[in-house]
Structure 1
Amino acid sequence: MNAAAKIDGHVSEVNVTDELQQVGVLPWRIRRDGEPKVLLITSRRRGRWIVPKGWPMKGRALHLAASREAFEEAGIFGEICPTPITEYRYMKALDSGLEARCRVTVFGMKVRGTLSHWREKGQRQRRWFSLGEGADRLDDAELAEFVRELEATPDRLKQFVDFSEWDRLSSEPQDRAE
């Protein structure tokens, strides 16, 4: 069965029996006291806690498309890992009223800054959570399980950046105006 979906800024016909590809970001930071935090945002329609995600962009590497989504949806920027850290699947409600199965490839981002004003600020909430609380709040069970695994072994976050940069990056990001 086909349905219309907005993909990469264009309305396209998609076969809802196919798995659609999306890209996402798991934004994180290490507080000065050493506690790791993850940043989650709410979805626009139902207010579920999710990670920033969207469609791949033609001509742009997947991790850079994910970084762009994080900037637009959460008002954050930072160092993005070019290698995916996990993936998960979920059912996406399309504008047509149908649902399509999506596979989200997730990239880790060490957040270096947050904007006070950003494109989707009026449409979403954004909040930092401990790894355990973030896992509890996440609407997507597969991603929540990954975050729970990070809570058990938080040093795995170090894999998402160049280890030689770890000490320099361990401070909290500064808020910035756009």
Structure 2
Amino acid sequence: MGEFLADHTTLQLGGPADQFLTHTDPTTWPDLARAAQGDDKTSFVLGGGSNTLAADTGFPGTVIRMATRGITARPLGRDHVEVVAHAGETLGSLVALTVAEGLSGIEYLGGIPGTVGAAPVHNTGAYGQQISDTLTGITAHDWHLATPSSYTPPTAASATAAASSSPGPDGGPSSPSPCGSPAAASPRP
């Protein structure tokens, strides 16, 4: 019998998954994707388990719990900061870091449960702020190719180009962290 999904959802509902994998290291995504495809059944990526209703009969396939962690921040010129967070990081942790650094743009998202990786999927928002207001890029992984690809939202392209015109401490722009990790540029107040 597999891992019970009830132990990984906020509603505490859900029977066993046929296979349950936990993703903690961004470099292992290709191996996890191959393992999930190997059983020829449906695969599902689970974040923090909020907004997830799992059947008590279980899940007939592979569940991969996204548990990559890490947040970094670096200045981009005088008025912007690039914040890169791994997909498994909680949205609350990301908000706490940006508030502690004196950054604005996502502070009203702090009470919303869930992970950073799910925030762009749902365009998480509250009180007039939404993640798309500050999101400048996403690195996602292709299930079939098991490779990463980057995406820059059209509304962020001009902001990213302007913000990236000033080199960072290493002399150039940083690459986003792998595994569905959004990079947000939050203006200083």
Q: TM-score, normalised by structure 1?
A: 0.28
Give me the TM-score of the superposition, normalised by structure 2.
0.27
Greater radius of gyration (CA): 2
